[in-house]
Amino acid sequence: MESVTTIAGRMDAAGLKIAVVATRVNDFIVDRLVGGALDYLERHGGRASDMTIVRVPGAFELPLICQKLAAKKTFDGILALGAVIRGGTPHFDYICAEATKGIAQAMMASGTPVGFGLLTCDTIEQAVERAGSKSGNKGAEAAAAMLETIRVLEQL
């Protein structure tokens, strides 16, 4: 029987230049996502000196900055980190949908992996859970997905 070829990304951040785009809105949550992402990358061989943090006002601005950073071709990967918490108006739905679509478009148009770490939560408690308590740290998970994608792309 013939063997199957498997392409998989190794979890090694050594030598990679990474941009972290993080929102200022809900920074008490987002700072925990950033910390989780940076910690993950450093534990997997990345160096702090190879990482750049870019602060943006909110989730709606994430796609534009991700797109501009990807176009520079100086980063191997980008992390989009933020937290949108539902309020009493439909604003939440519009922001979440447009930010998600825009981040995906930035990745697809550039070919640069973008880790999606935008929390879209109904409550502050849900956001806290996803930023390092019960549900783990979604910033670290976004970093892992971005890292694996970078390494898979290198093999294609």
Mean pLDDT taken over the chain: 96
Give percent above pLDDT 90 in the chain: 95
Considering only CA atoms, give the Rg of the chain: 16
Query: Is 135 inside any structural domain?
Result: yes
Domain limits for position 71: 34-80+107-156
Q: What is the pLDDT of residues 59-71, one digit of tens each?
A: 999 999 999 999 9
Query: Is 44 inside any structural domain?
Result: yes
Q: Which of 73, 91, 97, 122 is catalytic?
A: 91
User: What is the Cα–Cα distance from 24 to 80, expressed in whole angstroms?
Assistant: 12
pTM of the model: 0.95
For the chain, what is the domain count?
Answer: 1
User: Can you say how many angstroms the Cα of residue 42 is from the centroid of all Cα atoms in its chain?
Assistant: 15
User: What is the Cα–Cα distance from 20 to 138, expressed in whole angstroms?
Assistant: 14
DSSP 50-80: GEEEEEESSGGGHHHHHHHHHHHT--SEEEE
Query: Is 43 inside any structural domain?
Result: yes
- DSSP at 112: -
Residue 44 annotated in active site: no
CATH number (domain holding residue 143): 3.40.50.960
Query: Is 129 inside any structural domain?
Result: yes
Query: Is 29 inside any structural domain?
Result: no
